[in-house]
Amino acid sequence: MTAVAGGASAAEGAGSGEDAFLAAFDAAVAAEERIEPRDWMPDAYRATLVRQMAQHAHSEIIGMQPEANWITRAPSLRRKAILMAKVQDEAGHGLYLYSATETLGTGRDELLDKLHAGRQKYSSIFNYPTLTWADVGAIGWLVDGAAITNQVPLCRCSYGPYARAMIRICKEESFHQRQGFELLLALSEGTPEQHAMAQDAVDRWWWPSLMMFGPPDGESAHSAQSTAWKIKRFSNDELRQRFVDICVPQAEALGLTLPDPDLRWNEDKGGHDFGAIDWSEFQAVLKGNGPCNEERITQRRRAHEDGAWVRDAAAAYAAKQAAGSDEKAVAA
Amino acid sequence: MSAALALADDALVLSHRLGEWAGHAPVLEEEVALANIALDLLGQARSLYSLVGDEDELAYLREERAFRNVQLVEQPDGDFAHTIARQLYFSAYQLPLYRALAATDSALAPLAAKAAKEVEYHLDHARLWTLRLGDGTDESHTRMQRACTALWKFTGELFQPVEGLDADPAALEAEWLVDIGEVLERATLTLPDGPRRGGWAAGAGRQGLHTEPFGRMLAEMQHLHRSHPGATW
């Protein structure tokens, strides 16, 4: 807490200027103290957090679309309720993450404008289409599973508001992941058609899920600095390996295969070897050329634009109410 | 139990319509609110269906003519004002109905008591938005008035007697008219003065006579379930 809130006094003690603040900041990070909104922080640390947290918030919001795509077609009322609750949770996560990002001196409107203008990204995974009901399960199991693997270390991230957001979000995500697994299990153990549907979904979502951990360690632009600042705790490749090792036995439990002929246990490293990722596909999706990039951003923009009159109405009404209570106050 | 079936169909169909908003709401808080209301209604539908039979059979394997919901809840979402007007009309009907049922000793009483708490929130949400839109900007006022007027003809059906429903429709209707009149007035809106029934069939939805968009809605809702007869999900 308030790791460098004493920044001013620490700076006075150590001499003057930015160097002293930086020294106090570095010491706080090294001591695993949490950096809080009012603390001094390097501009680049602030900018990195805004970039990463905004992208995270945007991913929750865009990520509603591929799943919402199946709400009206969910095959049982129980599944429909679970899916609605999940999509609702995602909107809540988005709100929570936008609030956390706002503690860094930006605003939700500004962040949404950047998303709509394509100046801030969201997770590449949400540019893939949900073609069957089983995709809802594959997203829960694999996509949420990868997200959790990424996010659990963020619960110890050096920036307090982000770490606290992650603790809350990870609890709900774990729940979603179990529900996704359970959905796939029901399909896998169902009719031959249902089993095939589940296998097809896993075949399509497996590689994109592995790409969620980002480029290989050698090519990750932000990794070194983020690690030094204790925003990032493990490398992309470490987390990806951890995820593969978690998924292999789960796939067996599901009675489904993973679409990788090179996947096998490596006794020496105590983990699984797996095949090469198609990084050209990853780059194409990041650049906006994935299967649904256009649709996702268009729908988001349209929802925002179509809703402008509603937000205007709420603002106008609030202003009238405020003016009304001022008048009453004057009259009283 | 035809009363439970009728009320379950109301809740299921409106829940489905609200579910269509996911990812399309005007502001993120409304993504949460609309999904929340949809989930409450789906929960009500499931409890009510359990008094009648198997929930999935009832939801997925009946055709349009066998559904007993009022036509109001099957109306397409339209713009946000249209969705809010539909919700206002329906929640203002559902709340006193559930409260009345909760006070009886019918099989619906415990369920109605629980659901009334949810509907209180739904009605509050719809009222607040009716005020914001009605008394917001010129555009929102125009849209809200248009929505209230367009849906007016579906409101008379809410107060048709339903077999096995232990509540006095005339009393509910009187209360509803007062409630709606009050909200619309505060929202600077005019109470519509057209007929409160569609021209061709009194009590139509409750008899299984629906509007055209309903069949398409059911086609989407039921298609996957029907494509895999006997499967469990």
Cα(B26)–Cα(B34) distance, integer angstroms = 11
Preferred mutation among A298, A309, A311 to probe B, highest tally of B CBs within 10 A: A309
Integer angstrom CA distances of residue A138 from A74, A132, B158:
15, 10, 42
- Nearest CB neighbour to B39, from listed A81, A91, A310: A81
Q: Which residues in A205-278 belong to E strands, given as ranges?
A: 264-266, 271-273
Cα(B124)–Cα(B165) distance, integer angstroms = 25
Cα(A157)–Cα(A97) distance, integer angstroms = 14
> Which residues from A are below 8 Å from B31, CB to CB?
64, 87-88, 91
Dihedral sign (CA B83, B101, B9, A88)? positive
- Nearest CB neighbour to A87, from listed B35, B79, B136: B35
Q: How far is A236 from chain B (nearest CA, A)?
A: 30
> Which residues from A are below 8 Å from B46, CB to CB?
77-78, 81
Residue A324: count other Cβ atoms within 10 Å of its Cβ: 10
pLDDT given at position B203: 63
- At B136, the amino acid letter reads G
> Which residues from A are below 8 Å from B29, CB to CB?
95
- Residue A2 scores a pLDDT above 90: no
- Altogether, the residues listed in chain A come to a count of 332
Q: How far is B51 from chain A (nearest CA, A)?
A: 15
- At A108, the amino acid letter reads R
What distance lies between CA A16 and its chain's CA centroid? Answer: 39
Highest mean pLDDT among A17-31, A176-190, B200-214: A176-190
> Which residues from A are below 8 Å from B87, CB to CB?
none
Q: How is chain B split among helix, strand and coil, in percent rounded to 5?
A: 70, 0, 30
CB A84 within 8 Å of CB A246: no
- Nearest CB neighbour to B42, from listed A80, A92, A307: A80
ipTM above 0.90, yes or no: yes
Exposed / middle / buried, residue A49 (Cβ in 10 Å: 0-12, 13-18, 19+): buried
- Mean confidence (pLDDT) of chain B: 95
Task: Report the residue of chain B nearest A71, measured CA to CA.
Answer: B19
| pLDDT tier, A7 (very low <50, low <70, confident <90, very high otherwise) | very low
Residue A275: count other Cβ atoms within 10 Å of its Cβ: 13
Task: Report the residue of chain A nearest B22, measured CA to CA.
Answer: A68
* pLDDT > 70: percent of chain B: 97
Q: How far is B126 from chain A (nearest CA, A)?
A: 13
Q: At what angle do helices A144-151 and A160-188 cross, to 10 degrees?
A: 150
C-alpha dihedral (B189, B193, B196, B200), degrees to nearest 10: -130
Q: How is chain A split among helix, strand and coil, in percent rounded to 5?
A: 70, 0, 25
> Rounded mean pLDDT of A52-63?
97
Q: What are phi and psi of B54, to 5 degrees?
A: -85, 125
- Residue A56 scores a pLDDT above 60: yes
pLDDT given at position B196: 85
Position with higher pLDDT, B44 vs A331: B44
What distance lies between CA A284 and its chain's CA centroid? Answer: 20
Token code pair at residue A331? 């009259």
pLDDT given at position A6: 45
* CB pair distance less than 8 Å for A309 and B42: no
pLDDT given at position A329: 75
* CB pair distance less than 8 Å for A306 and B225: no
Residue entry with tokens 């429709």? B169
Nearest to A101 by CA among A143, A68, A63, A59: A59
Cα(B6)–Cα(B23) distance, integer angstroms = 29
Q: What is the pTM of this model?
A: 0.94
> Which residues from B are below 8 Å from A303, CB to CB?
23-26
* CB pair distance less than 8 Å for A84 and B38: yes
- Nearest CB neighbour to A64, from listed B22, B39, B230: B22
- Nearest CB neighbour to B35, from listed A84, A311, A315: A84
Q: How far is A104 from chain B (nearest CA, A)?
A: 20
> Rounded mean pLDDT of A116-142?
97
Cα(A133)–Cα(A203) distance, integer angstroms = 14
Task: Report the residue of chain A nearest B139, measured CA to CA.
Answer: A309
Q: How wide is the angle at C-alpha B18 spanned by C-alphas B13 and B23, nearest 5°?
A: 145
Integer angstrom CA distances of residue A322 from A317, B133, B137, B188:
9, 16, 15, 17
pLDDT, tens digit (0-9, with 9 covering 90-100), for B42-85: 999 999 999 999 999 999 999 999 999 999 999 999 999 999 99
Q: How many Cβ pairs closer than 8 A exist between chain A and B? A: 144
DSSP calls for A112-138: HHHHHTTSS---GGGGS---STHHHHH
pLDDT given at position B199: 61
DSSP state, residue B209:
-
Nearest to B27 by CA among A49, A296, A313: A313
pLDDT given at position A328: 75
CB A143 within 8 Å of CB A240: no
Cα Rg of chain B, angstroms: 17
* CB pair distance less than 8 Å for A307 and B80: yes
Position with higher pLDDT, A2 vs A258: A258
Q: Give the residues across from A266 on adjacent strands.
A: A271
pLDDT given at position B202: 58
pLDDT given at position A13: 45
Q: Give the residues across from A35 on adjacent strands.
A: A159
- Altogether, the residues listed in chain B come to a count of 233
* CB pair distance less than 8 Å for B136 and A80: no
Preferred mutation among B37, B127, B189, B224 to probe A, highest tally of A CBs within 10 A: B224
* CB pair distance less than 8 Å for A316 and B45: no
- Mean confidence (pLDDT) of chain A: 93
> Which residues from A are below 8 Å from B143, CB to CB?
309
Token code pair at residue A203? 């075949």
Long-range CB pairs of A150-154, under 8 A, 24+ apart, other chains included: A150/A212, A150/A213, A150/A239, A153/A232, A153/A233, A153/A234, A153/A239, A154/A231, A154/A233
pLDDT given at position A18: 86
pLDDT given at position A332: 66
CB A187 within 8 Å of CB A136: no
- At A88, the amino acid letter reads Q
pLDDT given at position B6: 97
Integer angstrom CA distances of residue A23 from A9, A226, A296:
12, 17, 43
C-alpha dihedral (A191, A197, A198, A199), degrees to nearest 10: 110
pLDDT given at position B82: 98
- Residue B37 scores a pLDDT above 60: yes
Task: Report the residue of chain B nearest A82, measured CA to CA.
Answer: B39
- Nearest CB neighbour to A313, from listed B42, B132, B223: B132
pLDDT, tens digit (0-9, with 9 covering 90-100), for B174-187: 999 999 999 999 99
Q: How wide is the angle at C-alpha A104 spanned by C-alphas A93 and A110, nearest 5°?
A: 70
Residue A323: count other Cβ atoms within 10 Å of its Cβ: 10
| pLDDT tier, A223 (very low <50, low <70, confident <90, very high otherwise) | confident
* pLDDT > 70: percent of chain A: 95
* pLDDT > 90: percent of chain A: 89
- Residue A12 scores a pLDDT above 80: no
Integer angstrom CA distances of residue B95 from B13, B91, B123:
17, 6, 8
* CB pair distance less than 8 Å for B233 and A81: no
- Residue A11 scores a pLDDT above 50: no
| pLDDT tier, B201 (very low <50, low <70, confident <90, very high otherwise) | low
Cα Rg of chain A, angstroms: 23
Task: Report the residue of chain A nearest B49, measured CA to CA.
Answer: A77
Which positions ≥6 away from B222 have C-beta within 8 Å? Answer: B59, B60, B61
Residue A48: count other Cβ atoms within 10 Å of its Cβ: 18
> Rounded mean pLDDT of A214-242?
92
